[in-house]
Copies of this chain bind each other. A is one copy, B any other.
Amino acid sequence: MSQFQLEIRVKPRPGLLDPQGKAIHNALHSLGWDSIEDVRVGKVIYLELEADSREIAVDRVHAMCRKLLSNPVTEDFEVSVSEEVEAEPL
């Protein structure tokens, strides 16, 4: 068993309105940053979990994303492993 740190990025699908991104875009413009062309906001979820291998950890997190962490109608997700810590042998 190893311990994995995974990063999940959940992002609004292209083409869908993103009111939070629009609000940030407007706020940045009004502060003088007018070279910005687009802003989109999603969430990032940092997970620590134990699994036998990297593939099993990633598969498990994909299942979590489909079932709970993202809305398949409006959002896309990406999973990446940021760290793997080998468990000490007993």
Chain A residues within 8 Å of B, Cβ to Cβ: 3, 9-11, 21, 24, 27-28, 31, 33, 35-51, 60, 64, 67-69
Contacts and interface: CB of A to CB of B under 8 A. Distances in A.
Question: Would you call the interface of chain A mostly helix, strand, loop, or mixed?
Answer: strand
A50 B33 contact: no
A56 B42 CA distance: 24
A45 B44 CA distance: 9
A46 B3 contact: no
Given A24-B68, A27-B68, A45 B40 contact: yes
Contacts of A45: 21, 24, 39-42
Given A33-B64, A37-B3, A44 B46 contact: no
Nearest to A33: B64
A68 B28 contact: yes
A69 B36 CA distance: 14
